[in-house]
Amino acid sequence: MKSAWEQLNKRIEKQEILTHQMIEKSTQRQYHSKLKKIGTSEYIGTLICYIGAAYLIVNFTKIEQILMQIFGIISIALLLILPIISLQSIRAMKKVNIVSKTYLETINTFAKQKIKFQKLQKLNVALGMFLMLIAIPVLSAIQGKDVSQIPHFWSVIFPFFVLFFLGFAYWVLRAYNRALNEAEKMLN
Amino acid sequence: MDIKQHFTKVIKENEGLIFKITTLYTNSIQDRKDLYQEILYQLWKSFTSFNEQSKLSTWMYRVSLNTAIYHLKQTKRRINTIPIDLETQLFSDDRDKEEEERIKLLYQQIQLLNLLEKGIIILYLDGKSHEEIASIVGISISNVGTRISRIKVKLRTLIIKNQ
């Protein structure tokens, strides 16, 4: 094992691995650390949610039924809160202290952050599904339509959407559970 | 020598260390390049605060290994990375094939270890003392010895199984 490693070391010594250009880039602030970066998709998601919330707020007066108004308020609250939960959980993951922690501390912190993140994401998905369900009648109410007047709404369209969302939620949550299991394994 | 020149010198002298860590903690060439750059950035960022020459390798290993862990989440990769082929540039045609196979096999088996085991065995194979390993990893010196013995047995079993 040691001899194979030493042979590898000898081969590496003969290679010009790191270019001066790469070192220059790191020292001249041309490089932006990816560890602290929040992805464009997260910002786009947040923007979409806030546009949706703004639309509901602007058109809120058009909703007449009390039940739909309650659904509307819940929808606005969810559209405002969901991106905050998401961004906060990502930010928590980005609080990295690479230098002062030992390797074992870093593994433990990383795994715990990942577990917390996955749990929050699961909560986010569940709330997102709920939001999509209650947003349908609210949007209909804004457009002056009563959902019960849409043919087959309660008998076909609504159950179809429920089934679709449940299937989608199952698929998404399964992926999060897998990631969660992997993170938990790191702590063993 | 200004600080940048000093940094470049230190990095060039220890580039093998970064190469090994980036190869063992990633599963694609692009990923490896990204991790390279990230480690260089993190090393540069903390270079000014680092001033004890005697602990240079401890600092480099710690920053590189810790960066590698946090880099795991950057793309949709698995926590236990899958074995990959090493850079073909390391194994040109005129080299010893048997030696090449031995190195690849060792690399592949190390990649199958969990993160803690992987870190410890890299340090051990790089000739670090138990004290230094304990300081970088954050476990007791006696625990280092115990863990190294267990990892060796595990690696041996894995290598025999794959031969």
Locate all alpha helices (DSSP H) within A16-157, ordered by sequence.
20-27, 40-58, 66-94, 103-142
What pLDDT is attached to residue B55?
A: 76
Residue B42 and residue B55 in one domain = yes
Q: What is the mean pLDDT of residues B12-29?
A: 86
DSSP of B110-154, one letter per residue? Answer: HHTS-HHHHHHHHHHHTT--HHHHHHHHTS-HHHHHHHHHHHHHH
- Phi-psi category of residue A29: left, alpha or beta, with phi > 0 → left and psi -120 to 50 → alpha: left
What pLDDT is attached to residue A73?
A: 94
Q: Is the pTM of this model over 0.80?
A: no
Complex ipTM value: 0.82
Q: What proportion of chain A, given as a percentage, has pLDDT over 70?
A: 81
Higher pLDDT among residues A28 and B136, named by residue: B136
Higher pLDDT among residues A117 and A59, named by residue: A59
Going by the DSSP 8-state scheme, the letter that residue A96 receives in this structure is -
Residue B1 and residue B76 in one domain = yes
Using pLDDT thresholds of 50, 70 and 90, give the confidence band for residue A6: confident
What pLDDT is attached to residue B83?
A: 43
Show the tokens assigned to B107: 């690399």
SS (H, E, C) A143-170: CCCCHHHCCCHHHHHHHHHHHHHHHHHH
Closest partner residue to B106 among A5, A17, A185, by Cβ? A5
Going by the DSSP 8-state scheme, the letter that residue A35 receives in this structure is T
Burial B60-91 (b: 16+ CB within 10 A, else e): bbbbbbbbbbbbbbeeebebbbeebebeeebb
Q: Whose structure tokens read 């790089």?
A: B126
Q: Smallest Cα–Cα separation from A96: which of B125, B114, B9, B72?
A: B72
Residue B139 and residue B93 in one domain = yes
The mean pLDDT of chain B is: 80
- Within 8 A of B70 by CB-CB distance, chain A residues are 35, 96, 98, 106, 110
The mean pLDDT of chain A is: 79
List the domain range (segments joined by +) for residue B161: 87-163
Q: At what angle do helices B97-111 and B15-24 cross, to 10 degrees?
A: 60
CATH of the domain at B78: 1.10.1740.10
Residue A62 has pLDDT above 80, yes or no: yes
Q: What proportion of chain B, given as a percentage, has pLDDT over 90?
A: 26
Residue B62 and residue B139 in one domain = no
Residue type, A88: Q
Cβ contact B116–A23 (<8 Å) = no
Task: Identify the top-confidence range among A8-12, A151-155, B89-93.
Answer: A151-155
CATH of the domain at B96: 1.10.10.10
Q: What is the mean pLDDT of residues A121-132?
A: 81
How many inter-chain contacts (A to B, CB under 8 Å) are there? 142
Residue B121 and residue B51 in one domain = no
Residue B110 and residue B60 in one domain = no
Say which residues have a Cβ less than 8 Å from residue A17's Cβ, sequence separation at least 6: B15, B16, B18, B19
The counts of H helices and E strands in chain B are 8, 0
Q: What is the mean pLDDT of residues A65-73?
A: 89
Give the model confidence (pLDDT) of B133-162 as tens digits. Answer: 999 999 999 999 999 999 999 888 887 877
Show the tokens assigned to A184: 């938990």
Rounded CA separation B35/A109 (Å): 19
The number of CA neighbours under 13 Å toward the Cβ of A15 is 20
Say which residues have a Cβ less than 8 Å from residue B22's Cβ, sequence separation at least 6: B32, B35, B36, B39, B68
Q: Smallest Cα–Cα separation from B116: which of A103, A97, A112?
A: A103
Using pLDDT thresholds of 50, 70 and 90, give the confidence band for residue A30: low
A141 C-beta neighbours (distance < 10 Å), count: 21
Residue B101 has pLDDT above 70, yes or no: yes
B82, B105, B125 - which closes a domain: B82
Residue B59 and residue B115 in one domain = no
What pLDDT is attached to residue A89?
A: 74
Q: What is the mean pLDDT of residues B39-52?
A: 81
Taking CA A57 as the corner, what is the angle to CA A52 and CA A60, rounded to the nearest 5 degrees?
A: 115
B82, B101, B118 - which closes a domain: B82
- Within 8 A of A185 by CB-CB distance, chain B residues are 79, 114
How far does B153 lie from chain A, in Å, by closest CA?
11
Residue B61 and residue B23 in one domain = yes
Residue B132 and residue B118 in one domain = yes
What pLDDT is attached to residue B54?
A: 54
Residue B110 and residue B43 in one domain = no
Residue B42 and residue B116 in one domain = no
Q: Which of B98, B103, B117 to mutate to test the interface with A (most CBs of A within 10 A)?
A: B103
Q: What is the mean pLDDT of residues B123-137?
A: 92
Q: How far apart are the first and last CA of chain B?
A: 50
Contacts with A, B 5-34, CB within 8 Å = 7-8, 11-12, 15-16, 18-20, 34
The beta-strand segments (E) located in chain B are none
Residue A2 has pLDDT above 80, yes or no: no
Using pLDDT thresholds of 50, 70 and 90, give the confidence band for residue B23: confident
What pLDDT is attached to residue B80?
A: 43
Cβ contact A103–B152 (<8 Å) = no
Q: Is B49 on the interface with A (CB under 8 A)?
A: yes
Count structural domains, chain B.
Answer: 2
B66, B82, B98 - which closes a domain: B82
Residue B97 and residue B162 in one domain = yes
